[in-house]
């Protein structure tokens, strides 16, 4: 079967660092993406890892280990506006944007 596991909820303090983990088990793997979704809003792209290692984009970094079927999203210098749901997603096939999403991690940033 296919599965993506993420923690359902995480709470962190403003200014701190938080890591959201994602483990996957899928029939095909062509990369791991992360999306942010505020309540009532559209999912927005944060990062993509096709190869092992760390990708950094401003306050956000994403890591992938294909041998461990594991990745994480790291958010630094947390701000209140970072309170949202975060989804990891695996591309399952080549030639199509067939993303398999996890159930999401709801991040709450507190003062």
Beta bridge partners of 62: 55, 73
Beta bridge partners of 73: 20, 62
String marking each residue 45-84 x if it binds other proteins according to CB under 8 A: x--x-x----------------------------------
CB of 89 to other proteins, least distance (A): 7
Q: Which of 1, 39, 42, 67 binds other proteins (CB under 8 A)?
A: 42
Q: Which of 1, 40, 58, 111 binds other proteins (CB under 8 A)?
A: 40
Number of DSSP helices (H) and strands (E) in the chain, helices first: 0, 11
Q: Which of 1, 58, 81, 97 binds other proteins (CB under 8 A)?
A: 97
According to the binding rule CB under 8 A, does residue 25 interact with other proteins?
no
Which residues contact residue 42 at a Cβ distance below 8 angstroms, ignoring those fewer than 6 apart?
A: none
DSSP strands (E only) in 26-91 = 32-37, 44-49, 53-57, 60-65, 70-75, 84-91
Q: Which of 22, 34, 43, 82 binds other proteins (CB under 8 A)?
A: 43
Give the tokens for residue 57: 């984009």
Place of tokens 């970072």: 82
Binding site for other proteins (CB under 8 A): 4, 31, 33, 35, 40-45, 48, 50, 87, 89, 91, 93-104
């Amino acid at each position: 079967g296919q599965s993506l596991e993420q923690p359902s909820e995480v709470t962190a303090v403003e200014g701190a660092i938080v890591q959201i983990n994602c483990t996957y088990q899928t029939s095909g793997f062509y990369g791991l993406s992360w999306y942010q979704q505020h309540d009532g809003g559209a999912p927005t792209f944060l990062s993509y890892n096709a190869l092992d290692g760390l990708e950094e984009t401003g306050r956000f970094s994403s890591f992938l280990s294909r041998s461990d079927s594991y990745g994480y999203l790291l958010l630094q210098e947390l701000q209140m506006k970072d309170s949202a749901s975060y989804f990891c997603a695996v591309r399952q096939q080549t030639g199509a944007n067939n993303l398999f999403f996890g159930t999401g991690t709801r991040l709450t940033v507190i003062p």
